Structure 1
Amino acid sequence: MTAPIETTGSAAGAQPEAVLAGAKRSQIEGRSLYQIAWLRFRRDRVAVAGGIVVILLVLLAALAKPIESVFGLDPNAFHQDLVDPSLLAPKGSWGGMSWEHPLGVDPQYGRDILARIIEGSWVSLLVATGATVLSVVLGTVLGVVAGFYGGWVDSVISRMMDTFLAFPLLLFAISISASLQDGAFGFSGLPLRIGVLIFVIGFFNWPYMGRIVRAQTLSLREREFVEAARSLGARGPFILFRELLPNLVAPILVYSTLLIPTNILFEAALSFLGVGIAPPQASWGGMLTSATGLYQADPQYMIVPGLAIFVTVLAFNLLGDGLRDALDPRSK
């Protein structure tokens, strides 16, 4: 008969508390879902690059006025001496590029393109962000109510979504924007146009967010934690705001980042058609409008704002794809 193995004083015979006492906190500390999502996101270099570009664009838009004042940039200053009136093209090569005008000047009035790109950044991002916030708020509230309560509430809200989706949005936006150009609700000029664009784009795009939130809510309302909350006596509003909405943050955040570039393109399209931001206020879509008849003489005037829109939309799409992969619990 073999003797029993002596384990006194060894790691095998130690109590769990003693073993954990010798371990570092970083070795035993758990990670939350947001920490895991952040680690996943950091591994996606393309999404990180998109996020960096988005941050730089937001800083550029927020600091557009200080940047213009510090560097002496005036987006509406005319430099007729830099334009050849017979050819309607900037003097010199590469669109009139120089140390004073790094991106050249426009072929009509000689206005600095860099200054107008910086000035147009805050207009595009303000309209797109405001419209996205309006769409997200309306879509989230109505979508979660429709998905949670069901029945006639779901039927009414769902038919409302179908009605909004049936509208020819572009034609409707053109008609509203054109009819409110002179003044309305005590506002006029640029504040009115920005407010109208935010309302038109955001108010008529909320059903897209509403459908996503409704579908997610229909799945979540049958989960165990919702049943547990009901068994403890929780009422509808408590379950909506304390149980369902925190679990809807991930899809809402991901879709919001994908909705912003769509709204940027929508604002550019309305400005391109002449019912968005009115000149002389700089906007990326307005710059493309004025470049349509001049692209043969100076293609750079169309390429620069087109690249600005392209880079912005691409950066937001890459960021949205990265957030979707990082916040998806089924991703590897």
Structure 2
Amino acid sequence: MTAPPDVSSAGAPAEPEAMLEGVRNTAGRSLGQIAWQRFKRDKVAMGGGIVVLVLILIALLAPVLTALFGAPPTQYHQDLIDPLTGGALRDPADPASGLDPWGGISAEHLLGLEPVNGRDLFSRIVYGAQISLLVAFGATLLCVVIGSVLGIVAGYFGGWVDTLISRAMDIFLAFPLLLFAMALAGVIPDGSFGLEGNSLRVAVLIFIIGFFNWPYIGRIVRGQTLSLREREFVDAARSLGAGSGHILFRELLPNLVAPILVYSTLLIPTNIIFEASLSFLGVGINPPTPSWGGMLASALNTYTTSPHFVVIPGLAIFITVLAFNLLGDGLRDALDPRSQ
């Protein structure tokens, strides 16, 4: 009779428990972890995200940065400005020395001086970031809330509800938004709704931009909801007796976070440009409060003698918009399960 094989030898097959030890020690990754791994591999998007974080920190720390590296944004330094040309002097003690080709850049004024009145450009750029990001984030939040709620309701219920909301979207999209915003912002008094001055201006801009832009995200959410409402998990929730509110906000809405987040990051730079356009046209933030669009408008009269006054706020808008666009593109690729 043949002896049984020696399973204790080195070449013997391992026990099932030992073979599965590696599987037991391998933790499954969540969808968020998978998306983060994809996002980290996109170096361009990571760079855009870092720039966005830096811009947010600059806006939050504007008073500290101004105290350390500049002067108050509304403080005049006309003793450093040539009274004839409005440009920064090469040597303020000797007006005959001519204009400074660098626009007054020095250790006290890191980005130079604003023409004519000599206000510090660094502090005005930093405080301008506060205005731009505040309006952009506020308008985007309002737009996302309205668009997401109405879009998910239209997509889920369908019928006359979908028809009513969809036609409302078409009406809002037909508005010439820039002209309407100019007209509405131009007739708002200096004090209303318990606010006054630029606080009222910021609130009006947030309302105009957010309230009249919600159909864009509403259409995206509606289209995604039309697909999701036919999925098995929605049928399972109905079979368990879940109401419409539970299905809308506990089943469908979590599955719409990815497209909402991606579109929000792409909507923020659009709102930044819109706010800058209104300030450029004189119906946005009132001077002397700094605004990137208002600074560009002021630079039109002095760009020949002080070209830095056009370049610096223009670069601020360009870098901010580019960073948010790169971040949005990276999030879209990371959150798309069909991407490689």
Q: What range is the shorter-chain TM-score in? A: over 0.9
Does the CA-based 8 Å contact 2:299-2:309 persist in structure 1? Answer: yes
1:139 equivalent in structure 2: 147
Instruction: Please identify, of 195-204 and 3-12, the stretch whose mean Cα deviation from structure 2 is larger.
Output: 3-12
2:78 to 80, 91, 97: 80
Q: Structure 1 residue 66: deviation in Å?
A: 2.5
Unaligned runs of 5+ in 1: none
1:43 equivalent in structure 2: 41
Q: Structure 1 residue 93: deviation in Å?
A: 1.9
1:163 equivalent in structure 2: 171
Q: Distance in 2 between matches of 1:70 and 1:149?
A: 56
2:126 to 118, 126, 131: 118
Equivalent residues in 2 for 1:233-252 (5 A)?
A: 233-252=241-260
Paired amino acid for 1:64: A
Q: Distance in 1 between matches of 2:222 and 2:139?
A: 20
* CA deviation profile, 1:38-79 (whole Å, cap 9, x unmatched): 000000000000000000000111111222234452111111
2:22 equivalent in structure 1: 23
Matched, 1:222 2:223: no
Q: Structure 1's 277 and 290: CA in aligned 2 closer, same or farther, altered over 3 A?
A: same
Q: Distance in 2 between matches of 1:197 and 1:110?
A: 28
Does the CA-based 8 Å contact 1:272-1:285 persist in structure 2? Answer: yes
Q: Distance in 1 between matches of 2:23 and 2:227?
A: 40
1:57 equivalent in structure 2: 55
1:310 equivalent in structure 2: 318
Instruction: Please identify, of 219-228 and 161-170, the stretch whose mean Cα deviation from structure 2 is larger.
Output: 219-228
Instruction: Please identify, of 46-55 and 67-76, the stretch whose mean Cα deviation from structure 2 is larger.
Output: 67-76
* CA deviation profile, 1:277-296 (whole Å, cap 9, x unmatched): 00000011110010011111
Q: Distance in 1 between matches of 2:329 and 2:2?
A: 63
Provide the identity percentage: 64
2:192 equivalent in structure 1: 184
Instruction: Please identify, of 91-100 and 169-178, the stretch whose mean Cα deviation from structure 2 is larger.
Output: 91-100
Q: How much is the aligned-residue C-alpha RMSD, in angstroms?
A: 1.9
Does the CA-based 8 Å contact 1:181-1:193 persist in structure 2? Answer: no
Q: Distance in 2 between matches of 1:243 and 1:8?
A: 54
Instruction: Please identify, of 139-148 and 77-86, the stretch whose mean Cα deviation from structure 2 is larger.
Output: 77-86
1:66 equivalent in structure 2: 64
Does the CA-based 8 Å contact 2:85-2:305 persist in structure 1? Answer: yes
Q: Structure 1 residue 4: deviation in Å?
A: 7.6
* CA deviation profile, 1:105-156 (whole Å, cap 9, x unmatched): 0111011111100111101100000000000000000000000000000000
Q: Distance in 1 between matches of 2:71 and 2:8?
A: 79
Equivalent residues in 2 for 1:228-307 (5 A)?
A: 228-307=236-315
Q: Structure 1's 230 and 273: CA in aligned 2 closer, same or farther, altered over 3 A?
A: same
Does the CA-based 8 Å contact 1:295-1:302 persist in structure 2? Answer: yes
Moved over 4 A (4+): 1-11
Q: Structure 1 residue 177: deviation in Å?
A: 0.6
Q: Distance in 1 between matches of 2:120 and 2:312?
A: 12
Unaligned runs of 5+ in 2: 90-99
Paired amino acid for 1:43: R
Does the CA-based 8 Å contact 1:61-1:122 persist in structure 2? Answer: yes
Query: TM-score, structure 1 length as denominator?
Result: 0.94
Does the CA-based 8 Å contact 2:109-2:121 persist in structure 1? Answer: yes
1:32 equivalent in structure 2: 30
Does the CA-based 8 Å contact 1:136-1:206 persist in structure 2? Answer: yes
**Alignment size in residue pairs:** 329
Does the CA-based 8 Å contact 1:147-1:218 persist in structure 2? Answer: yes
Paired amino acid for 1:106: E
